[in-house]
Structure 1
Amino acid sequence: MKFNRKLVFSAATIMTMTLAGCSNTTPHGKYVDGIHDVSAKGKKSIITLTVEVKNGHIVDIKTKSQKETESLYLNAERLLSKVVSNNGQEGIDAVSGATYSSNGILKAINTLPRVDGTTPEYVPVGSKEASGDDAFKLKWSIQPQLGLLKGDYYYQEARFRQGHMGSVAIVTDTSNAKDVIFAEFNESGRPNYYTRLYQDVPKRMSEYNFSMGKKKGTAWVQSALTMEKLMVEQDKLTFELNPDFDPALANKLKEPNRLKYAGIDVVAGASNSIQQSMVPLTAKIHAQIYGEGTEQLFYQHAEKLLDEKGKWTGVTALLRLVVDKNSKQITKAHYDEIFADEKKLISDASLKKFYRQSKYESINYAEPARIGFNVMIDALNDHLQQGGSLFLIDDLPATGDSGSYASTGFTKRSDAWEHYLKQANILYQQMRQDNVIVEHKKI
């Protein structure tokens, strides 16, 4: 006998469906109610899950024990929420880069006691993300906030874990130190990194995220972006451990050791970086904000670069300047040109491969002026720190046609300098209006 479920659903049943995240097509009474421990073989160990079932629906899953590679397992563990919403493992793909651990989780769920007494044969699954040019379907955005951003500037950096360099920049509202308006975490590979390609390379807007995505199914920057978003939204820079923190688990982000601040598995993409670098650095900044404060002001302007028809080229210009409140001198400067998050948005076909990267941080980007873009910008930073003008830059690399590439290393003025000068003028006018910078000559 068939019933119209839209008419006969009770309030209790609707609540159960909501908790389980199921749809109208999900079978009722599929599993035996209760709390069950189920296990299956992963890559390196037996994975045991504790599953709670109510009214035949899975409502909660926790990892009870496992000895898999921690970063890989944390990525695979993202499947748990999918299993809950799907009320079973059927039709769920493995996580790219963590196929064995994923299958261990899904196979364990397959052994969950069913009301009809059956145990279907488990068929191992692969990852749909494991094929194609980019080998994964990860999404993240590196686009900056457009327009003007200004406030009090805080910065901390330190090496951690075998020599990686972590850095955190925080900007707060000048009139309200409790209002976090900007947060950015970055990390550079250690000088003796086992892969020479990533030695001393910043990770945020470089090829590193794609390499990690293909190997482990998650991009490093995704974790940083998630934590930054929470900091700004909640105006919170300090973190707490779970009340059930287990010191025996050291820095592993197993269930008892996940940050109480944000119960999110995406941190798995950079678990060591978050715990060992971002957390302690932001804690130092938090203490500074409520201690001695800062004498540094932050000014940033970002603008989409348009072609002659007014259409976005797929490149965004960004200039950051930090000035000292007392001397009114520039203490830090950084200019970059950031590529769109999707290939199709970049008009120059030769630049499409640099999507979700920036000219400064990309390893493979080749500046047409025949000199490294990072070399140009590092020279700009040195020039301004030494009291040079924002506008008199003709002594910097690639600011003019220098003749033969064979004898000089570069041949023409970089277009980036024109874009930089436009952003510099915008920030300079604002900073002069705010009376925070000395006069800079333009001729």
Structure 2
Amino acid sequence: MKKKIRIILQICPVLLLGIFVWLGPTTKGEKTQYQKKYEKIESSKKGENLELVKEVAQEANTKYKDGVFQGSAKGYSGTVTVEVEIKNSKITSIKVLRNSDTPSFFGQAKSKVIDAIISAQNTKVDVVTGATYSSKGIINAVRNALIKAAVDPNSVEAAENNSNENKKESANNKETVLGQKNATASVEIPKDYVGKFPYEDGEYIGKAKGFGGNITVAVVIKQEAIEKIRIIQNEADNESYFGKAKTVLNSILSSQNVEVDVVSGATYSSKGIINAVKNALKTATIKKKNNANQTVQQAPIEQQPVPKYKDGVYEAIVACDPGNSRHFKKYDLHVKVEIKDGKITDISEIYGTGRDYIAANLKFINKAAYGADGQKGITDQISEIDTLDKVNRENIDKVSRATFSSNSIIEAIEKCLEQAKES
């Protein structure tokens, strides 16, 4: 008898320890989720509520909360934002709220990727060939939305994997799309896509003047579209400004258009890149029509007639207005321009006038006109422009801390040029 009691006493602690580990520790007498589920199942086995078995099984498999959730991720040209609707823990719809990718490429990705995700009920789907970055943008945006919808984001396997993958995709996009390291930008051209540049496939070289020297680029044409732009040489432009200017490569590729905006703060460098691309296209071989020995008449770059200017001296007065800033009172600004042989040969008599003009304004006028702190003034910038039709606010950088004066001087010079135009 004593032997039996001894065996029981040895077994009991082991049994109690096993029950404790299985049920899990609790705080303040609270039952764990496993205890609660076990009690529900045991209750159902006794016939008290057979539906509880189904309820517990469904709860154990629940991955997402019902509702509408938004997510964002990097696409090709910018951020892709989606809205994902969850019903009964299922993905029922995906809407794209915002994107800035090329419509033709994004359209392909959107139609196929969204259907694939809803069908698979997960984001582990294939990207669309020819629209890789747009596809990845949609996929990662949906993943970010699903992380928000997860019942327990910290314990959902997809959340950790998606987070790591998003970091990896973001790094890849930054290197390949922005192309700042190797000064190259490219876009995938779908097999059935036909662009608007009627040239033979190949690489074409173009050169144009930047801020401090010539900029040379190589433009790759594929299926009448611009597939790649590569900076071959930047002779003398400042790297910090040129780095900003290189973002026009993406603008040209994403829009498939060479008439894009210059980069503020890097006007000359970005204008140089744009003109170099245009000059490269001028060297391209025009594609011949099928079954005919004729060339395509369409040209992507329309040459506007260059206006002619009469030699002479012209003057203009414009308002220097601080607008809502109220840093100073509005006053009049005078500029005198001399034109000879189609060029501005002198800009002089730049001064303020009028009732509200004060001597303190002169400091900003001179800064804008002649430069300061390593910045070129308006007069020096204009002296480097080769043709008068390019003398406008798009091609001239405003001088920092003298923006209002800069704008007024440019406006006055533009008025002088209008007077000099031959009718």
Whether TM-score is above 0.5 comes out as no
Higher relative contact order (CA 8 A, sep 6+): 1
TM-score, normalised on structure 2? Answer: 0.26
TM-score by length of 1: 0.25
Query: Which one has the bigger helix percentage?
Result: 2
Higher-Rg structure is 2
